[in-house]
Amino acid sequence: MSLFVAEINTSKNQAVEAALETISSTMTAIGGEFIESQVTADHNRIFAVLEHESIVDVENALDGAGLEVEDLAKVRLVGAELDDVKKLKKGSQYLVEWDFPEGLTMDKYLARKKEKSPL
């Protein structure tokens, strides 16, 4: 299984809560898992961490569910074990709001993260 981060635009078609439920049910339907998400302060964008074998299957399923996927990239977990993150998932009941700078794309975000992460 691989981890992916999906950048989903919710400004046009869905409320964030409905989009999160759609992401979760879609990933379950294709044998994957919705690990966690971060939502921008204006609620126009979701960054969702997803686990599945195939990036193509994930993209097709999210598109088929009516979600506007702007970017989808393979990522790796740094600083934690995936099983530990999954154990915390069920008990977490909080929202972290991030303000991403205007024009920040997934490629730029990942490049900055890679630049700043210790080897």
pLDDT of residue 60: 95
Distance from C-alpha of 52 to C-alpha of 55, rounded to nearest angstrom:
7
More confident residue, 1 or 47: 47
Distance from C-alpha of 69 to C-alpha of 26, rounded to nearest angstrom:
13
pTM: 0.68
| pLDDT tens string 33-76 | 898 888 888 888 889 989 999 999 999 999 999 998 998 998 87
Distance from C-alpha of 1 to C-alpha of 53, rounded to nearest angstrom:
5
